[in-house]
Amino acid sequence: MKRILLLLLAHVFVTSLTAQKNLPALGKIDKADLEMKDCDFDKGAVAVTLIDWGNVYYDRGIEGVSFLNTIYEKRERIKILKESGLSYADVSIPYYDNNNEEKIIKLDAYTYNLDDAGNIKVTEVNKSSTYSKRINKYFSKMIIAFPEVKAGTVIEYKYKMERKTDQNLKSWFFQDRIPTRYSEYQINIPKFYRFSVQPTVIDSIEVKEEMNDELISTHKGSLSTQVLKKNFIMRNLIGIRDEPFMGSPRDYQQRLEFQLSQVDYGDGNIVDLRMGWSDILHDLKEDNDFGKQLEWAPSNTEILIKEAAAIKNQEARMKLIYTYVRKNMSWNGDDDIYSGEGINTAFKKHEGSSGDINLLLVCLLKKANVDAAPILLSTRENGLVNKHYPFLKQFNTVMAYVKLSDKYFILDATDKVSNYTLTPESIVNTLGYIADGEAGEWLDIIDQRHKYKVMTAVHGEIDTAGIMKGEALVNCNGYARKQRCDTYLKNKDNFKATYFSSANTALKIDELIVNNVEADSLPLEQKVKFSAVLNSSGNYSYFNMNLFSDLDKNPFVADDRMADIDFGFLQDFSMFGNYTIPQDYVFEELPGNFSMIMPDTSIIFTRNIQADENLLNVRMTVEFKRTFYQVSDYPEFAAFYKKLFAKLNEQIVIKKKTNL
* Positions of E strands within 202-298: 205-218, 221-237, 255-264, 270-272
Q: How far is the CB of 62 from other proteins (least distance, A)?
A: 28
Distance of CA 629 to CAs 294, 519, 554, 566, 598, Å?
39, 33, 16, 7, 12
Instruction: Provide the total of helices (H) and of strands (E) in the chain, helices listed first.
Output: 9, 37
Is the CB of residue 286 less than 8 Å from the CB of residue 352? no
Looking at residue 24, its amino acid is P
Compute how many other C-beta atoms are within 10 angstroms of the C-beta atom of residue 556.
18
CB of 326 to other proteins, least distance (A): 11
> Minimal distance in Å, beta carbon 299 to other proteins?
17
Nearest by Cα to 420 from 363, 364, 475, 361:
361
In the shown chain, the binding pattern of residues 66 to 105 toward other proteins, with x for contact by CB under 8 A and - for none, equals: ----------------xxx-x--xx-x-------------
Binding track, positions 113-132, relative to other proteins; x by CB under 8 A: ---------------xx-x-
Q: Does 298 bind other proteins (CB under 8 A)?
A: no
Among 511, 538, 612, 660, binds other proteins (CB under 8 A): 538
Q: Which is nearer to other proteins, 314 or 554 (CB)?
A: 554
Q: Is 7 in the site for other proteins (CB under 8 A)?
A: no
Q: How far is the CB of 467 from other proteins (least distance, A)?
A: 13
Contact 234, 254 (CB under 8 A): yes
Smallest gap from residue 123 Cβ to other proteins (A): 9
CB of 90 to other proteins, least distance (A): 5
Site string for other proteins, 321-340 (x = CB under 8 A): -------x-xxxx-------
The 10 Å Cβ neighbour count of residue 256 is 22
505: contact with other proteins by CB under 8 A: yes
Complex with other proteins: residue 20 or 84, whichever CB lies closer: 84
* DSSP run (H or E) holding 34: helix 31-35
CB of 629 to other proteins, least distance (A): 18
Can residue 137 be called a binding residue for other proteins (CB under 8 A)? yes
Strand partners for 316: none
User: Is residue 285 within 8 Å of 295, Cβ to Cβ?
Assistant: no
Per-residue interface string for the shown chain with other proteins, residues 24-63, x marking contact by CB under 8 A: -------------------xxxx-----------------
- Asked if 133 touches other proteins (CB under 8 A), the answer is yes
Candidate residues 33, 59, 147, 611; the one interacting with other proteins per rule CB under 8 A: 147
Least distance in Å: CB of 29 to other proteins? Answer: 18
Asked if 349 is part of the footprint of other proteins (rule: CB under 8 A), the reply reads yes
Query: 285: burial class by Cβ within 10 Å (0-12, 13-18, 19+)?
Result: middle
- 591 sits near other proteins (criterion: CB under 8 A): yes
**Torsional sign, CA 355, 356, 359, 361:** negative
Query: 659: which DSSP letter?
Result: P
Q: Is 533 in the site for other proteins (CB under 8 A)?
A: yes
Between 33 and 42, CB nearer to other proteins: 42
Among 59, 307, 351, 461, binds other proteins (CB under 8 A): 351
Q: Tell me which amino acid residue 111 is.
A: T
For the bound state, the minimum distance from the C-beta of residue 134 to other proteins, rounded and expressed in Å, comes to: 6
Instruction: Tell me the three state secondary structure of residue 468.
Output: strand
Interacting stretch for other proteins, rule CB under 8 A, among 61-69, 358-366, 510-518, 529-537?
Answer: 529-537
540 binds other proteins (CB under 8 A): yes
Q: How far apart are CA 410 and CA 425, in angstroms?
A: 11
**Is residue 657 near other proteins by the rule CB under 8 A?**
no
Which of these ranges, 16-24, 191-199, 498-506, 600-608, lies near other proteins under the rule CB under 8 A? 498-506
Angle in degrees, CA 233, 234, 237, rounded to 5: 160
Distance between CA atoms of 365 and 370, rounded to whole angstroms? 5
537 binds other proteins, rule: CB under 8 A: yes
Cβ-based neighbours of 31, under 8 Å, separated by 6 or more: 114, 120
The rounded radius of gyration (Å) of the Cα atoms in the chain is 31
Residue span binding other proteins (CB under 8 A) among the ranges 141-149, 464-472, 519-527, 615-623: 141-149
d(CA 628, CA 240): 20
Question: Does residue 242 interact with other proteins by CB under 8 A?
Answer: no
Residues 624-653, interacting with other proteins (CB under 8 A): 642, 646, 649-651, 653
**CB 102 within 8 Å of CB 96:** yes
H/E element, 109: strand 102-114
553 by Cβ neighbours in 10 Å (0-12 / 13-18 / 19+) ranks as exposed
> Residue 193 in 3-state DSSP?
strand
**Residues within the interface to other proteins (CB under 8 A):** 43-46, 82-84, 86, 89-90, 92, 128-129, 131, 133-137, 141, 143, 145-150, 328, 330-333, 349-351, 489-492, 501, 503, 505-506, 533, 535-540, 542, 554, 557-560, 588-591, 642, 646, 649-651, 653
